[in-house]
């Protein structure tokens, strides 16, 4: 589905968030990717099975699933206080929540098996680990940290 949405003849900068990072190698091999940006993303491995969720996180999600095996919208996985400040208003938060899919719990219990050896050296890549602490940041403290990790070219 995502591959079909990427133009086959254009240079592309892939920006992957969360588990989308695990799928970057397959996209790199199918399209003209000139750079990769991993934003709080899972990083691909050279081979073997890659769990889509670590065991402790799967246990956490198990407690959130309903009787039909569906997880609530992502913003309902966390306490409201954990997400304060992520949306600029209640209206924007409602819009974000309306666009969120409900994932099946089974997704978190699957593993990805890369079809080919994964190598991202075909394109420059950057890893950003965002640690947002909006509620804790104050005027005196300055802005919260927005990421770390070197970019390689």
Please report, in tens digits, the pLDDT of each residue of the chain (153 residues total).
678 888 889 999 989 988 888 888 888 888 888 998 998 888 877 767 888 888 898 999 999 999 999 999 988 888 888 777 788 888 988 898 899 999 999 988 888 876 554 555 567 788 887 654 433 333 344 433 333 333 333
pLDDT of residue 144: 36
The first and second tokens of residue 107, run together, are 């997704």
127 by DSSP, 3-state: which?
A: strand
Residues 6+ apart with CB under 8 A from 20: 41, 42
pLDDT of residue 1: 64
Alpha helices, DSSP H, located in the chain: 2-5, 24-30, 55-62, 80-83, 90-99, 105-108
pLDDT of residue 61: 93
pLDDT of residue 106: 94
pLDDT of residue 145: 37
- Under DSSP, the state recorded for 26 is H
pTM: 0.64
Give me the residue label for tokens 């992502």: 74
């Amino acid at each position: 589905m995502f591959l079909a949405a990427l133009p086959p003849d254009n240079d592309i900068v892939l920006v992957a968030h969360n588990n989308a990072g695990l799928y970057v190698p397959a996209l790199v091999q199918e399209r003209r990717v000139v750079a990769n940006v991993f934003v709080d993303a899972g990083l691909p491995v050279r081979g073997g099975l890659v769990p889509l969720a670590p065991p402790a996180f799967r246990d956490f999600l198990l407690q959130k699933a309903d009787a039909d095996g569906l997880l609530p919208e992502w913003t309902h996985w966390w306490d409201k206080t954990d997400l304060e400040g992520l949306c600029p208003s209640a209206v924007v938060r409602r819009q974000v929540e309306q666009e969120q899919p409900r994932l099946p719990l089974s997704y978190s219990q699957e593993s990805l098996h890369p079809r080919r050896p994964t190598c991202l050296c075909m394109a420059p890549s950057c890893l950003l680990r965002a640690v947002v602490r909006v509620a804790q940041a104050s005027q005196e403290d300055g802005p919260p940290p927005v990421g770390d990790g070197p970019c390689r070219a």
